[in-house]
């Protein structure tokens, strides 16, 4: 049974609004691909594409890009973006991709593979990839940091406190460390040409409320929201107030810089 925690329309809308599109990683993926086969790339598939903010970044490099996801709510939201004409979306399981064997140049999963049946997905990615095609899996740790004037450490501590309170709501499918999930997947990939990369710090400056909106898209927060909406609201209000007070700012529209710590791995099918 797939994990289906992404069906809510509000959750999908928040995804599109708040989740970070990992631009910096796309250029790294493309350099890795070009090293192996500097050809015209025909087809990329972004598995677990959600609302498509990562999928769309692949458009300039491929004749065709297909975002796939199990959640219709997420796919509907992806269709509301201004998608280039070479992008399309399909509902499908990560473990049963709707592509012929050997037809895909690149399979990506952005902040998504930890939700899949990982061994089945790796086999399925191997089936659809052409020889020389690449697999790119990326995600980031939940312990994002904030930068703001000379109170960055204080803000990051307040955020850590919040993440710790959310830990009991992490889904058992993920356990306590997504980094470990990805490194286990990396170890189990038999392709000889592969590389692991940890701690690529990606920064985005956005209003404090945008950061809080992003954290609220995380599944532990969504779980708490379902279980106890008042407590979820109290926790996020408390975090907002503590952050504002440390920043000596009066409005949550004040800009902060969010630092996300991405890790990713790339592999080329022999």
Q: Of 8 and 132, which has the nearer Cβ to ligand SAM? A: 8
Instruction: List the interface residues with ligand SAM, window 110-169 (CB under 6 A).
Output: 110-112, 115-116
Q: Which stretch binds ligand SAM (CB under 6 A): 23-31, 70-78, 82-90, 195-203?
A: 70-78
Distance CA 61, CA 115 (A): 27
Q: How far is the CB of 242 from ligand SAM (least distance, A)?
A: 26
Phi/psi of residue 64, nearest 5 degrees: -140, 140
**Contact flags string 39-58 toward ligand SAM, x per CB under 6 A:** ---------xxx--xx----
Q: Which of 247, 33, 9, 257 is nearest to 136 (CA)?
A: 33
97 binds ligand SAM, rule: CB under 6 A: no
Phi/psi of residue 7, nearest 5 degrees: -90, -15
3 binds ligand SAM, rule: CB under 6 A: yes
What lies within 8 Å, CB to CB, of 233 at 6+ separation is none
179 binds ligand SAM, rule: CB under 6 A: no
Q: Of 45 and 93, which has the nearer Cβ to ligand SAM? A: 93
Distance CA 34, CA 61 (A): 10
3-state secondary structure of 94: coil
Q: Of 33 and 47, which has the nearer Cβ to ligand SAM? A: 47
2 binds ligand SAM, rule: CB under 6 A: yes
3-state secondary structure of 154: helix
Q: According to CB under 6 A, which one of 43, 70, 122, 208 is a site residue for ligand SAM?
A: 70
Q: According to CB under 6 A, which one of 18, 44, 74, 133 is a site residue for ligand SAM?
A: 74
Q: How far is the CB of 86 from ligand SAM (least distance, A)?
A: 18
Q: What residue spans of 47-141 are helical by DSSP H?
A: 72-79, 118-128
Q: Of 14 and 239, which has the nearer Cβ to ligand SAM? A: 14
Q: How far is the CB of 69 from ligand SAM (least distance, A)?
A: 5
Q: Of 41 and 115, which has the nearer Cβ to ligand SAM? A: 115
Q: Of 48 and 220, which has the nearer Cβ to ligand SAM? A: 48
What lies within 8 Å, CB to CB, of 106 at 6+ separation is 29, 33, 41, 43, 44, 45, 58, 62, 133, 134, 135, 136
Q: Say if CB 270 and CB 191 are below 8 A apart.
A: yes
Distance CA 61, CA 229 (A): 43
Distance CA 121, CA 184 (A): 13
Q: Of 137 and 247, which has the nearer Cβ to ligand SAM? A: 137
Instruction: List the interface residues with ligand SAM, window 5-34 (CB under 6 A).
Output: 6, 15, 19
Distance CA 152, CA 247 (A): 9
Positions touching ligand SAM (CB under 6 A) are: 2-3, 6, 15, 19, 48-50, 53-54, 69-71, 74, 93-94, 110-112, 115-116
């Amino acid at each position: 049974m797939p994990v289906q925690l992404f069906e809510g329309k509000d959750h999908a809308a928040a995804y599109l609004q708040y989740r970070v599109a990992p631009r910096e990683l796309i250029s790294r993926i493309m350099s890795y691909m070009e090293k192996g086969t500097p050809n015209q790339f025909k087809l990329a598939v972004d598995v677990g594409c959600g609302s498509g903010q990562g999928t769309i970044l692949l458009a300039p490099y491929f004749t065709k890009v297909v975002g796939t996801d199990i959640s219709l709510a997420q796919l509907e939201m992806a269709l509301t973006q201004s998608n280039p004409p070479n992008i399309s979306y399909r509902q499908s399981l990560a473990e049963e991709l709707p592509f012929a064997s050997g037809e895909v140049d690149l399979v990506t999963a952005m902040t998504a593979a930890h939700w899949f049946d990982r061994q089945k997905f790796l086999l399925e990615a191997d089936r659809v990839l052409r020889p020389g095609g690449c697999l790119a899996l990326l995600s980031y740790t939940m312990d994002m940091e904030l930068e703001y004037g000379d109170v960055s450490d204080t803000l990051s501590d307040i955020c850590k406190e919040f993440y710790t309170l959310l830990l009991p709501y992490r889904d058992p499918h993920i356990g306590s460390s997504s980094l470990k999930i990805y490194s286990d997947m990396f170890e189990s990939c038999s392709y000889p040409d592969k590389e692991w990369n940890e701690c690529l710090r990606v920064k985005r400056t956005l209003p404090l409320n945008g950061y809080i909106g992003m954290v609220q898209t995380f599944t532990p927060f969504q779980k708490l929201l379902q279980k106890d909406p008042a407590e979820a609201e109290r926790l996020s209000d408390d975090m907002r107030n503590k952050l504002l007070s440390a920043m000596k700012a009066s409005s949550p529209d004040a800009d902060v810089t969010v630092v996300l710590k991405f890790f990713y791995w790339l592999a080329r099918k022999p």
